[in-house]
Structure 1
C-alpha cells in the first residue's frame, strides 16, 4: 500500500515534467530568441517526451484508481510494476533521465540550480530502476499483452536513436565544408617596389549554411631562407608546438605583416553553393622582403540560428590580439539551464616577431575564473559543429 501510494505521485510528476519541458522546447524553438538552436530536431526530441508523458499519465491514472479501491475491494492488491502502463512509462523515462547527467558531468561549473535538477533526475531515475527491477524479478513482463510490449520496446529505442542522431550522425554529416582558393600575382613595378594583387575565393561545397566566427586574410613578408637548407629537429619542434595554428618555421626570417582584411564579417554566413570572391591590391618593397605569403584564416560554424551580438573581449596577457565573443545557441531548455552559457571567443593574434594566426575557443559563461584557465575548448557543447581552416600561397619577388 505504501509503495503504491508514493509511486503514483512519481508517475504524475514524470508526466508533468516531460510534458512541460517538451512544450517549452517547442515554444523556445518556435519563438526566435537567439538562445536555442532552431535547427534542433523538434519532432524527435519534443514529441518523444510528450509521448512518454502520456504513458506516465496513464500509469498515474491506473495506480491512482487502484489506490482508491484499496479499502473497497477485498483480495490481493496489484503492485505498481504489475501495470503495463507503469513498466512502459518508467522504461521510456530512463533514457531521458540520463541526459541531465550526460550534460552536467563534463561541466566545470556546478551551481545550485544544476544540483537541484540533478537531484530530481536522480530520484526519478532511482524510482524507475526500482520499478523495472521489481518487474523483472517478479516476471511481470510475462503477463503483458502485445500492444504494451510494442510501446515498451519502441519508446526507449527512440530515445537511444535520438542520442545517436544528435551525437554521432548530425555532427559528422553537417561539418562546415568550404573550399578555399588563394592567389598572388604581380600587376606592376615602380622602382624598388612591386604592385601586387591578391585574390581569395570561398566556396561552400557542403549541404548546410556556414556561419562565420572569423574570416581574414593576411599578407606577410619573409626572407628567402637560402637554397633549400634542411630543417633542424629543434626548428621542426618549434614549428609544431602550438596545436591551434599552422606555423611555418624555415631558415628565412619573418619580415612583418603587410596587409590584413576581412573576407566575411563575424556573424555572416555562406549558404550551400554560395561562392565569395575577394580581390585586393597592395605594394611590396623588393628590398624589405624576398617573398610574400598570402594566408586565409577561417573559423566556421554550421548554421543553427543567427548568432548573437559579437562584442569585444579582453584578450589574455601575451602577444598582441584582437578578441571578439558571442553566445552560442543551445539545443534545448535543459542545456540552457545546465550548459553553463557557452560562448565562442575568437582571437586574431599578430605578434611583433611571429606569423599572425586566428583561433576560436569555447568558454563557460558560468565560470568565475578569468583568463586562460577558464577556456575549455571542445567541452562546452558536443553539438557544436565547428571547424577552423588555414590556407596559404607564396610569391617570390624579383629583385629587378
Structure 2
C-alpha cells in the first residue's frame, strides 16, 4: 500500500518553522498556525487565558472587524476556526489552493494585529462562561473534567481548558496582551500546511508578514511527575444515567511503547469489535456508549475508559471494565486479535490521510513533539513490530490497581462505587 507525498521544511531566519506536505490529487489546502500555548503553561490565576485569547483574536483587528475576518474566508468557500488544547493552540483555514495568500494574510492579521477591544472582551466573557456552564450541564464532559483533575492532581495539565467563571471574569486587555507576548514567539510558532500547497510560495508569504517577539523560553514546563492523592470523585446529580471515567497516567509522546499503546487501546475500546463494546454493550446490553481513548503529552500521557449506564448497573459495568483490563495482563492477546487490531489501525490511518486537515494535524504533532517527519510506512512498520508480549507488558505497567482513577457523575453517591 503506497502513500506518495512531498514533505518540505524551512526555518526562517527569525525562527518560525514552515512545514508542508504536498498531496497530489486534491484542490484544497489546510493551513494552520500552531503555538506552544495551552493549559499546561498557564498560572493558576490565569487558567483559561489561552482559550479566551483564541476566542478574542476573531473579534477584530486593526483592519478587519469580526464579520470581515469570517467573510474573508467564507466568501471564498473556505473554513476558518481554532482550538485550544492542554499544550497547543491552533488557528487554521481550509481553502482552495488559489486562495492560499488570503488564508496566510487573515491568520497573520488576527494573530499579530488583534485590538482586544474592552467592549468585545466583556461580551466574550459571557460567551465563554456559557460554554463553561454547558460543560457543567453535560455529565460525560464533567466526568472527564474531574478525571483530568484527579490524574494530574495540582499540575496545570489538570486544570480546565476553558478556565473557571472567576478566572474568565478577571481577564482584560492587559492580560491578553501579556499572554500573547509571553507565549507567541517566533521559536514557538509552526506554520503547517497540507494539500495542494506550493512550499516556496508559502515561505515567501509568511516571510513577508509573520514576525512575533523573540524570547528563548522554549517549551519548558512544570514537571508532571506529581503523584495524585485522591483516586475517586463522585458528583451526585439528577441525570438519568451515570457517566463514568476509569484510567490513569499513560505514556509520553516519545515513549517507545507508543505503538503498543495504540494497539492496546484499540483492542480494549476502539470500536465495535473492541472487547468493551462486545462484552458490555453487545453481550450484556448494559451501556450504549463504552470506549477507551489515549492522549500523549510532552513528558507524560493519559488513558481513559468512558462508559454511561443506568445507576443500578454502573457497579457491574465498572467490574466488567476492570476484568477486561486484567485479562490483558493474565492472558496474551491471540494472534488473530493482534492481526485484526493492527489491520484496523493501519486501515484507519490510510483513510485519515485522504483529508488535508487530518494530514495537517498529523504533520504538526510530529514536528512539534518530535522535530522530525515520520513516514506512513514507518508508522505501519512500528505497529507491525508490536508483539503480544509487548501488549501484556504494557498492560502490567498501566493497569496497576493502586494507580487507577475513577470519576462518575449521575444519580449515585460515593458509597455506590469503589476501586
Q: TM-score, normalised by structure 2?
A: 0.22
* Bigger-Rg structure (1/2): 1
User: Which gives a bigger RCO, structure 1 or 2 (Cα 8 Å, sep 6+)?
Assistant: 2
Pick the structure with more strand per residue. Answer: 1
After TM superposition, the score normalised by the length of structure 1 is: 0.22
